[in-house]
Amino acid sequence: MSHYKGSGRVLEGDNFSKPLEGNKVMIKPQALDIIWGNDSRYWRVNQNEAELLQVCWLEVTGSYPLKELLKGRNYKLSFNVSTRPDAFGWGDSPVYLMVKVGAGPYTWKKADLSQLKNNNIDIPITSPLTFTVPTDPKEDKITFGLYEIWRGRWKGGLVIHHVLIEPAN
Dist CA 75 CA 140 (whole Å) = 16
Dist CA 56 CA 42 (whole Å) = 10
Closest CA to 100 of 136, 147, 145: 145
pLDDT number for residue 44? 96
Place 120 in a pLDDT band, splitting at 50, 70 and 90.
confident
pLDDT number for residue 43? 97
Who's near 27: CB < 8 A, 6+ residues apart?
A: 10, 16, 17, 62, 64, 162, 163, 164, 165
* pLDDT of 132 above 70: yes
Q: What is the pTM of this model?
A: 0.93
Whole-number mean pLDDT of the chain?
Answer: 92
Domains of the chain as residue ranges with CATH: 4-167 (2.60.120.260)
Closest CA to 127 of 110, 141, 115, 113: 110
pLDDT tens by residue, 24-72: 999 999 999 999 999 999 999 988 999 999 999 999 999 999 999 999 9
